């Protein structure tokens, strides 16, 4: 294309994209007007108005996020037609709703990501726009259908991966590669496992898959939402912008420690304790711990009933316990059975003594009337309630677990390993969350709490009825001087609407606070770290078993984590899970990956490292320092990076000032990484090797290593220097 022809094309594309923004602005104004009208109320019930307001608010958000990079490309067919590709779809209302911009998730957009020179998908050209704000700056064209090498969209892809990192993960909607697009659009109703080494984009692919599923299956998925599970809050914050940038907001983000709403994690388990808690064998321990709280009295418990002394002996309690356990109900709900049996025995014994010589069972009416009086007396007897609490107490998950952990005797009674002992029983760890969640089902509801909630509901209903009676009476008693304004009118239907028990919170807020909420789809990132108990919780959260599972077995650090995907998934979805791998490293430059690959070959030789698509030109370096020199060397790195664009991090073992643990950086990426004392990280065995592998592969541009002891053999490929060097050069420190 000549320079003049190119400039004319740029002007034409600018004009077209400007027209798209004009349509976007008009659509945004229309939605805003309808939203404001809905807020004022325009007919329908209160519930219908709430639904309308929520739907319009969601549409407004979708249009707002589309403002950034609305249109990023164009496809030209062999017949000369062309289609524009963007974040959302826009239509020409005057031309039978013809699309003027295709949503990137639409089937017609697929060729933009998968067409190659060898397989052009009936396309002649792919054009990618480079924009600044709302204006097209320039574009690059790729002519398809000619035998030529290279990946599609290399220029745009390399510009994206070489750009300095910001505060959060960016979407890749404009640069999705064919390997990634195939996974994003995969039509599989069960569990999809995406495995890939560092930098392969498995997380962002999973998030784009969520956006695609919400686009293609919105009616099925939207009412229940999507759950995304990540390894730590920093990771969730890092990825949290991707889906909103794609116009999707009905997504709940949580760690495994958030499985129990309101749980505050304050401690960390030893590897052995985490392994024990993560195994399904802990289910037997939990059941035994509950059974241990269902006690028999060592000595009879005496009560006064109708002026008589009656007792609960071991034989009575044992019969009641057997019946309660045989009911199959959770512990707290089975307490009613236990209470019923004990009540029966006590009242029978009391009636026999009261009616001695004058009352027989043939006088059924008198017998039952006397029993009713005695049952009522027992119900109000504090001593009877105390006896029940001693023998069959109402339990909470926190109470069961805290008292179990802090008591060697209870651990032995439950058949648990003493490695679970801790003096502070309610110093919760991440591994406790699935156990507490399990105990919710094993214990069941507290009938006293249910009765209180029912009383409150009835009180609110009575209040509503009283308000209505008062308003009616007020209107009937008005004299001629009173004036009834339109705002005073209140009809029964409106009043009923106001007092219907409706939850007006957004879906994300409701779902995160509700332990019993179920999702239509679940994304599990860093899934190799999840234990068997974690998976048990997640399967309860998603009855339809629709999952996108993301991980890398080579990066597993948890003693309770997965050693194979089949071991975790087959018990729940036998034959209903498929495996896909990502093999191209878009994040880690070849210089850094070479160092990480040497370490990988030592601790996981069967794993093939991903191939980097680029080199950065900067050789990773190492520098040996003394204990006294270490703080200054770390400060030097921090100062140097503060003057550069992008992000940086110091990763090291506990005790290194200013350093974070490698586990806290899982899933994150930084322009520059300084790894401190790798020899100490490696000393933690196989878990330490995985930690170091994670640390090394966080860098997108620059990697440095400070070591006090001898440099580990796997890292001898580093350039020993005081400062980073350009490839092919070496400077002494």
**Do the strands 725-726 and 648-651 form a parallel or antiparallel pair, or are they unpaired?**
unpaired
Residue 34 pLDDT greater than 60, yes or no: yes
202 is in an annotated binding site: yes
Contact between 650 and 671 under an 8 Å Cβ cutoff? The reply is no
pTM comes to 0.82
pLDDT at res. 655: 87
Segment holding 52, helix H or strand E: helix 46-65
CA distance 131 to 140: 12
Judged by average pLDDT, the poorest of 2-6, 198-202, 426-430, 451-455 is 451-455
CA distance 724 to 618: 7
**Do the strands 521-524 and 547-551 form a parallel or antiparallel pair, or are they unpaired?**
parallel
685 is in an annotated binding site: no
Q: What is the mean pLDDT of residues 640-658?
A: 92
pLDDT at res. 687: 84
- Residues in the chain, how many? 733
- Who has greater pLDDT, 237 or 533? 533
Query: For residue range 129-148, what is the model confidence (pLDDT) as tens digits?
Result: 998 889 999 998 988 875 44
Helices (H) and strands (E) in the chain, counts: 27, 23
Which residues are CB-contacts of 34 (< 8 A; sequence separation ≥ 6)?
A: 56
pLDDT at res. 469: 53
Query: Shortest CA distance to 153 belongs to which of 172, 133, 132, 136?
Result: 172
201 is in an annotated binding site: yes
pLDDT at res. 39: 85
Q: How far is CA 183 from the centre of its chain?
A: 20
Residue 727 pLDDT greater than 60, yes or no: no
Query: For residue range 194-217, what is the model confidence (pLDDT) as tens digits?
Result: 999 998 999 999 999 999 999 999
> What are 264's two structure tokens?
């505050």
376 is in an annotated binding site: no
Domains 183-250+518-581 and 590-720 share a fold: yes
Query: For residue range 600-617, what is the model confidence (pLDDT) as tens digits?
Result: 999 989 989 999 988 999
41 is in an annotated binding site: no
pLDDT at res. 178: 87
CB atoms within 10 A of CB 205: 24
Question: What kind of fold does domain 183-250+518-581 have according to CATH?
Answer: Rossmann fold (3.40.50)
| Predicted confidence band of residue 186 (pLDDT cuts 50, 70, 90) | very high
CA distance 193 to 240: 21
Q: What is the mean pLDDT of residues 271-288?
A: 97
Strand order in the sheet with 90-92: 90-92, 98-103, 82-86, 71-77, 123-132, 135-143
Instruction: Find where tokens 């969520």 sit.
Output: 210
Contact between 282 and 460 under an 8 Å Cβ cutoff? The reply is no
| Predicted confidence band of residue 489 (pLDDT cuts 50, 70, 90) | very low
Q: Where are the beta strands (DSSP E) in 530-683?
A: 547-551, 577-582, 584-585, 611-612, 618-619, 621-624, 648-651, 670-676
Judged by average pLDDT, the poorest of 356-360, 380-384, 511-515, 630-634 is 356-360
Residue 674 pLDDT greater than 60, yes or no: yes
Letter string b/e over residues 298-315, b meaning 16 or more CB atoms within 10 A of that residue's CB: eeebebebeeeebebeee
Q: Where are the beta strands (DSSP E) in 156-196?
A: 191-196
Contact between 656 and 698 under an 8 Å Cβ cutoff? The reply is no
Residue 535 pLDDT greater than 80, yes or no: yes
198 is in an annotated binding site: yes
CA distance 722 to 712: 18
Question: What kind of fold does domain 590-720 have according to CATH?
Answer: Rossmann fold (3.40.50)
**Domain spans of the chain?**
3-163, 183-250+518-581, 590-720
CA distance 355 to 374: 13
Residue 165 pLDDT greater than 90, yes or no: no
Long-range contacts of 19-25 (CB under 8 A, 24+ apart): 19/100, 20/70, 20/71, 20/84, 20/86, 20/90, 20/100, 20/101, 21/67, 21/70, 21/134, 23/90, 23/100, 24/63, 24/66, 24/67, 24/70, 24/90
């Amino acid at each position: 294309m000549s320079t003049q022809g190119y400039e004319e094309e740029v002007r034409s594309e600018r004009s077209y994209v400007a027209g798209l923004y004009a349509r976007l602005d008009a659509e945004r104004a229309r939605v805003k007007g309808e939203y404001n009208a809905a807020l004022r109320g325009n007919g329908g019930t209160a519930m219908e108005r709430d639904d309308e307001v929520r739907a319009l608010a969601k549409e407004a958000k979708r249009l707002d996020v589309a403002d950034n990079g609305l249109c990023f490309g164009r496809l030209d067919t062999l017949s000369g037609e062309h289609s524009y590709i963007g974040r959302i779809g826009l239509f020409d209302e005057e031309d039978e709703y013809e699309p003027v911009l295709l949503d990137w998730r639409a089937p017609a957009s697929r060729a933009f990501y998968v067409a190659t020179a060898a397989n052009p998908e009936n396309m002649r050209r792919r054009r990618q726009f480079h924009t600044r704000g709302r204006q097209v700056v320039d574009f690059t064209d790729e002519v398809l259908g000619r035998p030529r090498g290279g990946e599609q969209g290399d220029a745009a892809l390399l510009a994206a991966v070489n750009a300095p990192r910001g505060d959060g993960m960016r979407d890749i909607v404009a640069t999705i590669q064919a390997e990634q697009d195939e996974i994003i659009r995969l039509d599989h109703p069960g569990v999809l496992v995406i495995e890939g080494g560092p930098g392969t984009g498995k997380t962002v692919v999973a998030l784009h898959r969520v956006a695609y599923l919400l686009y293609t299956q919105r009616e099925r998925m939207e009412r229940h939402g999507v759950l995304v599970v990540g390894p730590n809050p920093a990771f969730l914050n890092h990825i949290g912008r991707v889906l909103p940038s794609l116009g999707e907001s009905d997504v709940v983000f949580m760690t495994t420690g958030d499985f129990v709403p309101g749980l505050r994690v304050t401690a960390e388990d030893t590897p052995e304790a985490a392994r024990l808690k993560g195994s399904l064998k802990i289910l037997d321990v939990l059941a035994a711990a509950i059974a241990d709280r269902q006690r028999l009295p060592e000595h009879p418990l005496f009560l006064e009933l109708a002026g008589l002394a009656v007792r609960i002996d071991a034989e009575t309690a044992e019969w009641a316990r057997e019946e309660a356990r045989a009911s199959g109900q959770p512990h707290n709900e089975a307490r009613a059975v236990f209470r019923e049996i004990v009540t029966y025995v006590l009242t029978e014994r009391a009636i026999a003594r009261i009616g001695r010589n004058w009352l027989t069972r043939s006088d059924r009416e008198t017998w039952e009337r006397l029993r009713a009086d005695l049952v009522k007396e027992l119900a109000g007897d504090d001593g009877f309630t105390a006896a029940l609490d001693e023998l069959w107490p109402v339990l909470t998950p926190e109470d069961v677990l805290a008292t179990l952990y802090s008591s060697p005797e209870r651990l032995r009674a439950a058949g648990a390993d003493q490695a679970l002992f801790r003096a502070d029983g309610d110093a919760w760890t991440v591994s406790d969350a699935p156990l507490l969640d399990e105990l919710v089902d094993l214990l069941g509801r507290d009938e006293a709490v249910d009765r209180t909630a029912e009383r409150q509901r009835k009180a609110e209903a009575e209040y509503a009825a009283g308000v209505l009676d008062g308003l009616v009476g007020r209107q009937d008693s008005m004299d001629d001087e009173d004036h009834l304004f339109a705002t005073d009118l209140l009809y029964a239907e409106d009043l009923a609407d106001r007092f219907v028990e409706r939850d007006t919170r957004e879906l994300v807020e409701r779902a995160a606070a509700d332990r019993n909420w179920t999702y239509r789809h679940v994304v599990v990132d860093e899934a190799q770290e999840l234990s068997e108990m974690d998976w048990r919780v997640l399967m309860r959260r998603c009855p339809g078993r629709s999952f996108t599972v993301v991980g890398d077995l080579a990066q597993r650090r948890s003693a309770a984590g997965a050693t194979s995907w089949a071991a975790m998934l087959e018990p729940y979805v036998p034959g209903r899970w498929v495996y896909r791998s990502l093999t191209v490293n878009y994040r880690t430059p070849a210089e850094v990956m070479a160092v990480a690959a040497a370490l990988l070959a030592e601790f996981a030789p069967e794993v093939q490292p991903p191939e980097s698509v680029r080199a950065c030109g900067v050789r990773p370096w190492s520098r040996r320092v003394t204990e006294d020199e270490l703080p200054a060397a770390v400060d030097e790195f921090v100062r140097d990076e503060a003057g550069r664009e992008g992000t940086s991090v110091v990763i090291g073992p506990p005790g290194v000032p200013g350093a974070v643990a490698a586990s806290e950086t899982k899933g994150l990426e930084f322009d520059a990484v300084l790894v401190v004392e790798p020899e100490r990280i490696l000393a933690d065995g196989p878990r330490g090797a995985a930690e170091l592998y994670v640390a090394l592969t966080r860098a997108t541009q620059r990697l440095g290593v400070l070591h006090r002891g001898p440099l580990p053999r796997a890292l001898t490929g580093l350039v020993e220097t005081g400062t980073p060097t350009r490839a092919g050069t070496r400077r002494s420190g």
